[in-house]
Amino acid sequence: MKIEENYSLKEHNTFHLSVKARWFIEYCNEEELCCILHDEYFQECISLHIGSGSNLLFLNDYNGIILHSAIRGITVVEETDDTVLLHVGAAEKWDGVVAYAVARGWGGVENLSFIPGEAGAAAVQNIGAYGTEVKDVIETVEAFNQLSFEKKVFSNQECCYSYRSSFFKNENNDPHIVTYINIRLRKHFQLNLSYKELQKELLHFDNPGLQSVRDAVILLRRHKLPDPEVLGNAGSFFMNPIIAVSHFESLKDEYPNIPFYLLGNDQVKLSAGWLIEQCGFKGKSHGAVGVYEKQALVLVNLGDATGDEIAMVAESIRMAVNDRFGIMLMPEVKYVG
Ligand SMILES: Cc1cc2nc3c(=O)[nH]c(=O)nc-3n(C[C@H](O)[C@H](O)[C@H](O)COP(=O)(O)OP(=O)(O)OC[C@H]3O[C@@H](n4cnc5c(N)ncnc54)[C@H](O)[C@@H]3O)c2cc1C
C-alpha cells in the first residue's frame, strides 16, 4: 500500500491542474482496501476514489483522502464456442483492455477504443462512443460498499445503466468502490458501424474487421480530440442534452440544420457541441481556458488554468446555451471541491 501526504494530483487529472490531496492512498488488492475502509481515521475524513482523473475537475486542493486502486490483471474466466468472459482489475487502463480483446479477435469493445481512464471507472461512467456503451458488454461489477464494508457482485441490471450513468454514480446510493469488472465478449460478432463517420473512415480499409475498426476509431479520435498530455482536458465537458420532441420541433423550425438523434419515448438527443458552437464559443479562450478549436464540447487548459477558471467558463457556456435554446447543459465532468 502506498500512502502519501500533501500529494500533487497534477499527474492524476487530465486537465493537469496543480492541486494537492491531503492524503493519497493506493491499495494493491481487496484485502488492503478492506483495511482502509475499516480504519476509523478514514471513516472520519472525506474521501474520493479516482481512476486516471480523466473526467474530474478539481476546484481546489482536496482536504481529505484520495483513494486509487492498483488492482490490475486481465483473466479469461469462462470460454464457450461463442463467448469469453474477462475478469478485469479496476486499475487496468481501459484502452489496454480493448487492445487485449481486439488482438484475440473478441468483439464488443472495439468502438470504445482510445477512451482514457481505467476499467473500474469505465463501468461507473458507462463510457460510450460510436454507438457502443460499456453496459453492452458488462456482465457483472464487483464492488465494496464503503459504509457496510460488504462486497457485492452487481448484475448488469443492478448497475442501473443509462446514458453516462449507473448505480455507482447515483449519489442517493451508498458509495461503492469497484474492484473488478467482468465483461462478456463475442467470438462471432457483428461490427457496429451505425455511425456514419466511422463507416466513412472504414472505406479506407479492405474487409473491415475488429482491428480496422479500432484503427479507424483511433484515427478519428486523434483527429478531433486534443491529447491530454499536450493540452489538458477531460473530453466532453457536457453531456448531450435529451429533450422532449415538442421542444425539439419548435427548435427545428428555427434551426432547420440542428443535428438530432431520435430516442423513442418522445425524446430527442441533441449535440451539445453544436449548441455551444452556435453560441460562438468554438476556438475562443478566456485567460488560460480555451474551447477547443475542433470540438466546442471540449474545454482545454491552455497553460496554468485553475479549476475555478474552467468552471467559470463552463458556467458562461451553460448560460449562453440556455438563453438561446432554452436548454440547460449538464456537466459530464465531475466537479470536486
Ligand atoms: C480526451 C478524452 C476523451 C474522452 N472520450 C470519452 C468518450 O468518448 N466517451 C466517454 O464515455 N468518456 C470519454 N472521456 C471521459 C473519461 O475518459 C471517462 O469518463 C473515463 O471512464 C474516466 O475514467 P478515469 O479512470 O479517468 O476516472 P476518473 O475521472 O478518475 O473518475 C471518474 C468517476 O469514476 C469514479 N471512480 C473511478 N474509479 C472508481 C472505482 N474503482 N470505483 C468507484 N468509483 C470510481 C470517480 O469517483 C469519478 O466519479 C474522455 C476523456 C478525455 C480526457
**pLDDT 10s digits, 61-93:** 999 999 999 999 999 999 999 999 999 999 999
pLDDT category of residue 273 using cuts at 50, 70 and 90:
very high
CB atoms under 10 Å from CB of 174, counted, come to 11
Which distant-in-sequence residues (6+ apart) come within 8 Å of 140 by Cβ? 153, 154, 155, 156, 181, 182
Mean pLDDT of the 119-136 span: 97
Domain residue limits at 14: 2-69
Query: Are both 113 and 205 inside the same structural domain?
Result: yes
pLDDT category of residue 38 using cuts at 50, 70 and 90:
very high
Mean pLDDT of the 163-180 span: 96
In this structure, of 29-38, 90-99, 255-264, the range with the lowest mean pLDDT score is: 255-264
Query: Are both 101 and 50 inside the same structural domain?
Result: no
Distance CA(35)–CA(89), nearest Å, equals 19
Per-residue pLDDT for 130 more than 90?
A: yes
Cell of 221: 479520435
Q: What is the CATH number of the domain that holds 220?
A: 3.30.465.10
Per-residue pLDDT for 167 more than 90?
A: yes
Cβ atoms of 140 and 158 closer than 8 Å = no
Q: Whose CA is nearest to atom 12 of ligand 1?
A: 127
Task: Give the distance (Å) from ligand 1 centre to CA of residue 51.
Answer: 7
pLDDT value, residue 265? 83
Residue 123 backbone dihedrals phi, psi, to 5 degrees = -75, -30
Which atom of ligand 1 is the closest one to the Cα of 225?
1
Per-residue pLDDT for 189 more than 90?
A: yes
Which atom of ligand 1 is the closest one to the Cα of 126?
11
- Decide: 225 in ligand 1 pocket, CB within 6 A: yes
- Decide: 193 in ligand 1 pocket, CB within 6 A: no
Query: Are both 304 and 216 inside the same structural domain?
Result: no
Point out the residues that are catalytic.
Answer: 164, 236, 332
- Decide: 299 in ligand 1 pocket, CB within 6 A: no
**pLDDT 10s digits, 200-224:** 999 988 888 999 999 999 999 999 9
Q: Which of 125, 151, 195 to mutate to test the pocket of ligand 1 (most atoms within 8 A of CB)?
A: 125
Task: Give the distance (Å) from ligand 1 centre to CA of residue 266.
Answer: 29
- Give the residue ranges of DSSP H helices in the chain: 30-38, 40-44, 94-103, 119-125, 196-202, 210-224, 245-254, 272-278, 307-325
Q: Which of 49, 54, 138 to mutate to test the pocket of ligand 1 (most atoms within 8 A of CB)?
A: 54
pLDDT value, residue 25? 98
pLDDT value, residue 60? 96
Which distant-in-sequence residues (6+ apart) come within 8 Å of 1 by Cβ? 25, 26, 27, 28, 32, 35, 36
Which DSSP symbol is given to 239?
P
pLDDT value, residue 207? 86
Q: Whose CA is nearest to atom 40 of ligand 1?
A: 178
Query: Are both 108 and 55 inside the same structural domain?
Result: no
Query: Are both 259 and 301 inside the same structural domain?
Result: yes
Mean pLDDT of the 171-198 span: 96
Distance CA(180)–CA(145), nearest Å, equals 14
Distance CA(64)–CA(46), nearest Å, equals 5
Per-residue pLDDT for 255 more than 90?
A: yes
Query: Are both 301 and 236 inside the same structural domain?
Result: yes
Q: Whose CA is nearest to atom 43 of ligand 1?
A: 177
- Decide: 233 in ligand 1 pocket, CB within 6 A: yes
| Domain end (from 224, 250, 270) | 224
| Domain end (from 191, 206, 224) | 224
Query: Are both 58 and 150 inside the same structural domain?
Result: no
Residue 119 three-state SS: helix
- Decide: 270 in ligand 1 pocket, CB within 6 A: no
State CA 88 to chain mean position distance: 17
- Decide: 232 in ligand 1 pocket, CB within 6 A: no
Task: Give the distance (Å) from ligand 1 centre to CA of residue 35.
Answer: 25
Query: Are both 145 and 217 inside the same structural domain?
Result: yes
Per-residue pLDDT for 321 more than 90?
A: yes
Per-residue pLDDT for 264 more than 90?
A: no
Per-residue pLDDT for 320 more than 90?
A: yes
Query: Are both 182 and 259 inside the same structural domain?
Result: no
Query: Are both 101 and 183 inside the same structural domain?
Result: yes
pLDDT value, residue 206? 86
Q: What is the CATH number of the domain that holds 285?
A: 3.90.78.10
Helix, strand, coil percentages (3-state) for the chain, rounded to 5, are 30, 30, 35
| Domain end (from 22, 39, 69) | 69
Query: Are both 245 and 309 inside the same structural domain?
Result: yes
Per-residue pLDDT for 98 more than 90?
A: yes
Count of domains for the chain: 3
Query: Are both 81 and 219 inside the same structural domain?
Result: yes
Q: Report the chain's mean pLDDT, rounded to a whole number.
A: 97
pLDDT over 90 for what percent of the chain?
97
Q: What is the CATH number of the domain that holds 53?
A: 3.30.43.10
